[in-house]
Amino acid sequence: MLLGQGTRLPCFRPGFTDEVSYAGTQSSSEAREELERKAKEIRRADYEDDRAELLRLFEELERFEGDAELGPHAHYWRGYAMWRRAINGFNDGAGKTELDGDLAAGIREFEAAEKLDPNSVEATIGRVSCEMNLIYVHRDNVEEANKHIAKTAQLVKKLEDAAPNNPRFLWIYGANLWYRPVAAGGSQEKAFETYRRGLELAKTEAKKKQNALAPGWGEPELLMSLAWSSLNGATADSAAARRYAQAALKIVPKWHYVRDILVPQIEAFEAKK
């Protein structure tokens, strides 16, 4: 299972290197087109569970950090690469140290993107998911887990105010509600409602022309979470889980988690019935 949802490098903060000047030798349009290609490659590597490629692309994007226009985008996609590397790592059995390092690197990059573009909530959305996953990583260390719980609560409150209709936030928020105790305002029903609302907003967003560097993901992730939740809810509905999973694969046919992990889980459940 992926947290956030679907169950999650050494930790370093790179400085500017000689590669930064390489980006400077390109024309503005060439540099932007290259970064757009890299962002697409990161999305593909995430879906295909190519963690080595995610690390390689994370390192390649370092050269864009000094670019005044592209820097915020480069930091976002570097953060995204480490975040999704960790999420895939949960399913691949990666060790605690590696998961912690990937998520910490993701947080640093998202924070850098936020500083360069304070009006964007997209990096904050990635950062709160990293914090949520760190709660799980450190679940056996109450003091450390509580630090990430507090940070998660702070960021969720910020996003509730700033981005209540952002489908990517609703994907993250749905997972938060799923695992949050009822006494604290969570429930499976509320999570389902949040995922469904996010899905409708994502479909509407997908019809609009998007900035190629802007995070345009959301619809397949929400479908995947609805599939997982339908299978794992208090009242399992494998037929609904299958429909949602098939809809996600129609958008992303090579999604490793859905195709090779979730769908077989649905089939196994149905076989037991």
Same-domain status, 40 and 144: yes
Backbone angles phi, psi at 5, to 5 degrees: -125, 145
Average pLDDT, the chain: 91
Residues 130, 208, single domain; the answer is no
Both 77 and 37 in one domain: the answer is yes
Q: Which residues of the chain have pLDDT under 70?
A: 1-26
Which of the listed residues 136, 163, 190 is the one where a domain comes to its end?
A: 163
> Is the same domain home to 139 and 211?
no
Confidence (pLDDT) at 26: 66
210 cis-preceded (ω within 30 degrees of 0): no
With CA atoms as reference, report the closest residue to 83 among 126, 40, 139. Answer: 126
Give the range of the structural domain holding residue 252, as residue numbers without chain letter. Answer: 166-273
The reported pLDDT for the residue numbered 25 is 55
Coil, helix or strand at residue 71: helix
The answer to whether residues 80 and 187 belong to one domain is no
Look at the chain and report how many structural domains it folds into.
2
Q: For residues 28 and 157, state if they share a domain.
A: yes
Judgement on whether residues 256 and 194 belong to the same structural domain of the protein: yes
Domain check: are 17 and 145 in the same one? yes
Q: Are residues 137 and 20 in the same domain?
A: yes
* Amino acid at residue number 231: L
Same domain, 269 and 200: yes
91 neighbors 49 (Cβ within 8 angstroms)? yes
**The pLDDT value given to residue 177:** 96
